[in-house]
Amino acid sequence: MALPKLETPTYTLLMPSTDEEIKFRPFLVKEQKRMLMAQESEDSTEMVDAVNQLIQDCTFNKVDTKKIAMFDAEYIFLQIRSKSVGSKVDVQVTCPDDKETKVPVNIDLDDIKVAMMEEHTNEIQLTPEIKIVFKYPLLSTFTKYTKSSDTAKMIFDLTADCIEEVHFNDEVTNKVDMSKKDLDEFLESLSTEQFGMLVKFFETMPRLRHRIEVTNPKTEVTSEVMLEGIQSFLV
């Protein structure tokens, strides 16, 4: 006798960047196993690959993780996780006052939203003549660069990678028409203030953000903590 096939429920969400309606299903045991193996490896590249594959599988291959912004991928993953194994998770949070004591905090994933800052823009007017247009980093792109121990190089390389267009007066140069050498030389020619204007794109771009309060059991000091990014909610 053939074994029965179980029906899997389908849910919908709105893509944070576009408000597009996306259908998705909970992950299955085979997909959970892949995620657990990636977590146990403690390899960030493996983890990102597993998350990307899970998103594609659970959205019926309608979401291409090679094209969507990092914050869209993070949000979709949390929604899938919430409907798969429950919305409540216990995470370990380091107390800010002594920077070493960890306390468990129970978080409802359904409360986690993508925070959009009003001052954020992907178009940076460097000078009256020069404007830079950014694309949002993919989850894999952001993870690749943030693994670097050289913070200055990481910021420089991530900035270069995410530049989509350079406008000079009425002329527009697209990324495909820029050599790495020319782009690096252009960035190196900027003043510290101008480069800081570019970095602000990453500092203010949409992210998963959730504010909580934690009390240090050793010092009894209560502090506010901002959890950011998917890594804050993975257990």
Q: Per the structure, how many domains does the chain have?
A: 2
Residue 137: helix, strand or coil by DSSP?
coil
Asked if residue 18 belongs to a domain, the reply is yes
Do 81 and 133 lie in a common domain? Answer: no
Residues 133 and 195 placed together within one structural domain of the fold = yes
| In a domain? residue 142 | yes
25, part of any domain = yes
Q: What is the pLDDT averaged over residues 190-197?
A: 96
The CATH number that applies at residue 48 is 3.30.2220
> Do residues 143 and 82 both lie within one domain?
no
Q: State residue 103's pLDDT score.
A: 95
| Residue 75 structural domain | 1-86
> In this structure, how many other beta carbons lie within 10 angstroms of the beta carbon of residue 174?
11
Q: Does a structural domain hold residue 67?
A: yes
124, 95 contact by CB (below 8 A): no
**What's the confidence (pLDDT) of residue 47?**
85
Q: What pLDDT is attached to residue 235?
A: 57
pLDDT in tens, 86-130: 899 899 999 999 999 999 999 999 889 999 888 999 999 999 999
Going by C-beta distance under 8 Å and a sequence separation of 6 or more, which residues neighbour residue 92? 102, 103, 104, 105
Residues 127 and 82 in one domain: no
**Is 112 a member of any domain?**
no
Mean pLDDT of 59-76: 93
Is the predicted pLDDT of residue 146 greater than 90, yes or no? Answer: no
Residue 51 domain flag: yes
Give the lowest-confidence range in 41-50, 54-63, 152-161, 176-185. 41-50
Together in a domain, 135 and 189? yes
Kindly list the distances between the CA atom of residue 166 and the CA atoms of 123, 145, 175, 191, 200, in Å, as whole numbers in the listed order.
10, 22, 8, 17, 17
Cβ neighbors of 78 (< 8 A, separation 6 or more) are 109, 112, 208, 230, 233
What does the pLDDT read at residue 231?
Answer: 78
Question: Would you say residue 101 lies in a domain?
Answer: no
Q: What is the token pair recorded at 195? A: 């480069």
Same domain, 1 and 80: yes
Q: What is the mean pLDDT of residues 154-163?
A: 94
- pLDDT band with cut points at 50, 70 and 90 for residue 35: confident
DSSP per-residue string spanning 183-214 = HHHHHHTS-HHHHHHHHHHHHHS-EEEEEEEE
Where a domain ends, among 86, 109, 138? Answer: 86
What does the block give as tokens for 163? 């530049």
- 129 and 78 within one domain: no
Kindly calculate the radius of gyration of the chain based on its CA atoms and give it in whole angstroms.
Answer: 20
Residue 233 forms part of a structural domain = no
Angle between helices 139-146 and 151-162 (to 10 degrees): 160
| Residue 88 main-chain phi, psi, to 5 deg | -90, 130
Candidate from 96-100, 112-116, 143-147, 161-165 with smallest mean pLDDT:
143-147
45 or 14: which carries more pLDDT confidence?
14
pLDDT attached to residue 158: 94
Q: Which pLDDT belongs to residue 3?
A: 81
